[in-house]
Amino acid sequence: MGEQNAMQGLIAISIVIGLGAPLLMMLLRRMTDAEGSLPVTVEWINELSIERYRPMMRLLDSDDLEFLKSQPGFTTRMASKLRTQRAQIFRGYLRCLCADFSRICAAVKLLMAQSRYDRPDLAGTLIQHRTLFGMELIAVYIRLYLYRMGLGSVDVSDLVKSFETMRLELRSLVPATLSAAA
C-alpha cells in the first residue's frame, strides 16, 4: 500500500512538472518577446498613457447592467450574455495592458543594462512592481470569473496604478531630449 501511494505521488509530481514546464516556458517567452526591439523614446512612453485603459475601468461597471435590468423585457439570460461579452472585451484590454507593462519592464531592464552605473534600487523596484502586477492580475482574473457568473464586480484600478508607476519610472530614466531616432 505504501509503495502504491509513493508511486501515485511520483506520477502526480511528474504530471505537474510535465504540464508546468511548458507553461513556464511560454510565460518566459512572452515576457522576453517584448525585449526584441523597444522604441525607448519619449513619444513611445507617452503613448503608453493610462488614458487608453480608461474604458476598461468602466466596462464592467454595474450601473449599466442595473439600468438594463430595470427595462421591460430584459431577462437574466440577456444579462448573462452581456456579462460574457463585456468580460471578453475586458480580457482584450487586459492582454494589451499586460503587453504594455511587459514592454515597459523590458525597456527599464534595457536601460539598466546600458547604464554606466549599477542601479540595485531600480532592479529592486522592477522586481517589486512585476510581482505586485502579477498578483493583482491574478486577483483581477478571479474577480472576472466571478463577474461572469453574476457575482461581484471587477476593480482594475490597482493594476492600472502599477502600470502607471512603472511607466513613470521609465519616463524618469529617459531624457526629455531623446529623439525619436534613438
Report the candidate in 115, 162, 107, 109 with the shortest Cα–Cα distance to residue 135. Answer: 162
pLDDT higher than 60, residue 26: no
Q: Per-residue pLDDT tens for 43-66?
A: 777 778 788 888 888 888 878 778
Mean pLDDT along residues 138-163: 89
Report residue 24's pLDDT band, with 50, 70 and 90 as the boundaries: very low
How far apart are the C-alpha atoms of 168 and 175, rounded to whole Å?
12
How far apart are the C-alpha atoms of 162 and 159, rounded to whole Å?
5
Q: Per-residue pLDDT tens for 79-122?
A: 888 889 999 999 999 999 999 999 889 888 888 887 788 878 88
pTM: 0.70
Report residue 135's pLDDT band, with 50, 70 and 90 as the boundaries: very high
Boundaries of every domain in the chain? 1-30, 41-173
